[in-house]
């Protein structure tokens, strides 16, 4: 198992490109199951979760149609070169997503809707809970059942069968206790593209990843409107075709780099940054004393920021597709900006509640918690999406953070500095929070189990090192051996 060894106290400085979004790419890859033609996706990040999805799609009858050079030891279906993946569903009889693969990646559930809609049958192992909470799929199943699917649970597998004439459009309410569901909306919206008649999803998730999926599906011939709002309308079509589509940049990766700059008193320029999907984050960071300056002609149009530099009210920018629109450039596409991130010497405390989009994203909560450990005063974070997503708190405390948890709220009393320590990564975003803390801390931090981080950040250590961080990936056993030798 790999471990990161981080020598803290280095300023991050330089330029980094934000990669394509993991959470947009996952349901988009699954959308290849909706057609027998080739779907090509660009800017697909080379992450463990994406490779698992490609492995799963291979098991579900999809073939890679792009020419990939062979890489030693890596199966052809999971190789990602230059971010391009072309998939074609060639064997529609293989419709069982097995537990062995689903348990490694919950997003496997996004294959359920597409297989059901196109093949009339799908069997997907029920995903279990994970480190961030129970993560039920009742809303996915409620939505697919409303389209006419007969759903049963046998031996831990969800089996869904379409009625004899295929799925039928209807009005579906997808709201749950914690708001809507991102992958549930993706599943129901994808399935409804091939249903007869019109489907209306009420209380749909408004996340940019849902918009991006809708844009891909429309490029494949679907008729979807309203994505990005709580009401999505889908007029069913008989068939979908292939498409060639570029995935939006990853807003969570962008937010993580912004916080890395702030915590190391750094100066980073992020290219391909989806600013229009990050308004709650930039608002919060600005309040904490972090400056996020878009470069180029739209620089004065960052709206909602409390800094005096950005008081000007500006026209609303619509969330735009990642598809190849030649008129959009880094200067005029609000989802692909270049931005410079710097910060005041003293970080200020803030109060933040995670919420569905356009609120502050739960996927940046752990990173923000790490940042606020260094703020000058008491900060409060309330988690409204996954109320138990606080496994990073105990690890941050091992580094000298002062954090008290009360239910789904934490109160962080800022300290002058964190102190390096061995810590354990528990999930993807918690790991990112610990890496940030390690880069800002005095001394050496060892982050164990970085395979969690690899699920969502591509070659993170190389990219951070190129920006000035002192961070190395080492094998846990080798590290133990070298420590024993030194003792």
Out of 62, 110, 130, 343, the active site residue is 130
List the interface residues with ligand EPU, window 164-223 (CB under 6 A): 176-178, 181-184, 205
Binding flag, residue 400, ligand EPU (CB under 6 A): no
Residue (of 293, 55, 318, 92) closest to 206 by Cα position: 318
Residue (of 250, 159, 173, 240) closest to 205 by Cα position: 173
Whichever of 153 and 480 has its CB closer to ligand EPU, that residue is: 153
- The least distance separating ligand EPU from the CB of residue 217, rounded to whole angstroms, comes to 16
Binding flag, residue 438, ligand EPU (CB under 6 A): no
Q: Do 212 and 235 touch, CB atoms closer than 8 A?
A: no
Beta-carbon-side half-sphere exposure of residue 115 (alpha carbons within 13 Å): 28
Rounded CA separation 32/17 (Å): 27
Rounded CA separation 203/365 (Å): 23
Whichever of 93 and 177 has its CB closer to ligand EPU, that residue is: 177
Q: What tokens were used for 96?
A: 């069982």
Q: Which of 96, 103, 135, 196 binds ligand EPU (CB under 6 A)?
A: 135
- The least distance separating ligand EPU from the CB of residue 444, rounded to whole angstroms, comes to 27
- The least distance separating ligand EPU from the CB of residue 456, rounded to whole angstroms, comes to 6
Whichever of 363 and 461 has its CB closer to ligand EPU, that residue is: 363
Binding flag, residue 107, ligand EPU (CB under 6 A): yes
Q: What tokens were used for 359?
A: 């609120």
List the interface residues with ligand EPU, window 453-482 (CB under 6 A): 456
Q: Do 179 and 386 touch, CB atoms closer than 8 A?
A: no
* Long-range contacts of 376-379, Cβ-Cβ distance < 8 Å, separation of 24 or more: 376/346, 376/347, 376/348, 376/349, 376/414, 377/348, 377/349, 377/413, 377/414, 378/349, 378/411, 378/412, 378/413, 378/414, 379/349, 379/350, 379/351, 379/352, 379/411, 379/412, 379/414
Instruction: Verify whether residue 130 is a known catalytic residue.
Output: yes
Q: Which of 138, 239, 325, 478 binds ligand EPU (CB under 6 A)?
A: 138
Q: In the stretch 315-334, what mask flags binding to ligand EPU with x, by CB under 6 A?
A: --------------------
Dihedral sign (CA 199, 200, 206, 212): positive
Rounded CA separation 341/224 (Å): 36
List the interface residues with ligand EPU, window 257-316 (CB under 6 A): none
- The least distance separating ligand EPU from the CB of residue 59, rounded to whole angstroms, comes to 19
- The least distance separating ligand EPU from the CB of residue 318, rounded to whole angstroms, comes to 21
Residue with tokens 């390690």: 438
Whichever of 343 and 460 has its CB closer to ligand EPU, that residue is: 460
- Residues with Cβ within 8 Å of residue 288, at least 6 apart in sequence: 262, 347, 348, 349, 350, 371, 372, 375
List the interface residues with ligand EPU, window 351-380 (CB under 6 A): 362-363
Residue (of 157, 154, 160, 150) closest to 116 by Cα position: 160
Interacting span for ligand EPU (CB under 6 A) from 131-139, 195-203, 293-301, 303-311: 131-139
Burial of 485 (0-12, 13-18, 19+ CB in 10 A): exposed
Binding flag, residue 338, ligand EPU (CB under 6 A): no
Q: In the stretch 24-63, what mask flags binding to ligand EPU with x, by CB under 6 A?
A: --x-------------------------------------
Binding flag, residue 99, ligand EPU (CB under 6 A): no
Contacts with ligand EPU, residue ranges (CB under 6 A): 23, 26, 107, 133, 135-140, 176-178, 181-184, 205, 362-363, 385-386, 428-429, 456
Instruction: List active site positions.
Output: 130
């Amino acid at each position: 198992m790999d471990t990161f060894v981080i020598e803290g106290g280095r300023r991050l400085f330089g330029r980094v490109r934000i990669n394509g979004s993991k959470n947009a790419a996952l349901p988009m890859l699954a959308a290849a199951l909706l057609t027998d033609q080739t779907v090509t996706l660009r800017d697909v990040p080379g992450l463990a979760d994406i490779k698992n999805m490609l492995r799963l799609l291979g098991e579900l009858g999809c073939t890679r149609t792009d020419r990939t050079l062979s890489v030693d030891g890596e199966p052809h279906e999971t190789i990602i070169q230059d971010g391009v993946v072309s998939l074609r569903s060639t064997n529609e009889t293989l419709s069982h997503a097995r537990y062995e693969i689903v348990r490694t990646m919950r997003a496997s559930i996004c294959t359920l809707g597409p297989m059901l809609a196109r093949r009339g049958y799908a069997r997907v192992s029920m995903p279990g809970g994970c480190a961030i909470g129970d993560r039920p799929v009742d809303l996915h199943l409620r939505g697919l059942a409303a389209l006419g699917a007969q759903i049963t649970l046998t031996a831990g597998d969800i089996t869904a069968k379409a009625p004899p004439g295929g799925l039928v459009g209807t009005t579906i309410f997808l709201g749950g206790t914690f708001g809507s569901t991102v992958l549930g909306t993706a599943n129901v919206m994808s399935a409804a593209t091939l249903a007869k008649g019109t489907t209306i999803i009420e209380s749909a998730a408004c996340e940019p990843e849902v918009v991006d999926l809708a844009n891909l599906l429309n490029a494949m011939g679907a008729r979807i409107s309203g994505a990005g709002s709580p009401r999505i309308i889908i007029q069913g079509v008989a068939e979908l075709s292939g498409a060639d589509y570029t995935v939006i940049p990853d807003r969570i990766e962008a937010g993580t780099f912004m916080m890395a700059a702030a915590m190391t008193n750094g100066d980073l320029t992020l290219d391909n940054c989806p600013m229009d999907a990050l308004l709650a984050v930039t608002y919060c960071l600005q309040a904490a004393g972090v400056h996020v300056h878009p470069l180029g002609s739209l620089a004065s149009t960052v709206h909602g920021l409390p800094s005096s530099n950005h008081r000007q009210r500006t026209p609303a920018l619509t969330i735009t597709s990642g598809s190849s629109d030649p008129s959009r450039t880094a200067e005029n596409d609000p989802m692909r900006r270049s931005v410079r991130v710097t910060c005041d010497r003293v970080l200020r405390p803030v109060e933040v509640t995670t919420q569905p989009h356009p609120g502050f994203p739960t996927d940046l909560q752990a990173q923000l918690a790490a940042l606020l450990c260094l703020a000058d005063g008491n900060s409060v974070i309330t988690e409204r999406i996954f109320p138990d997503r606080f496994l990073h708190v105990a690890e941050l405390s091992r580094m000298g953070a002062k954090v008290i948890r009360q239910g789904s709220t934490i109160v962080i009393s800022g300290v002058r500095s964190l102190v390096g320590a061995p810590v354990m990564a528990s999930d993807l975003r918690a790991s990112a929070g610990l890496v940030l803390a390690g880069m800002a801390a005095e001394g050496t931090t060892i982050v164990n189990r970085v395979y969690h981080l690899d699920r969502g950040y591509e070659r993170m250590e190389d990219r951070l090192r190129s920006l000035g961080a002192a961070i190395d990936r080492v094998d846990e056993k080798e590290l133990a051996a070298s420590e024993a030798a030194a003792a």
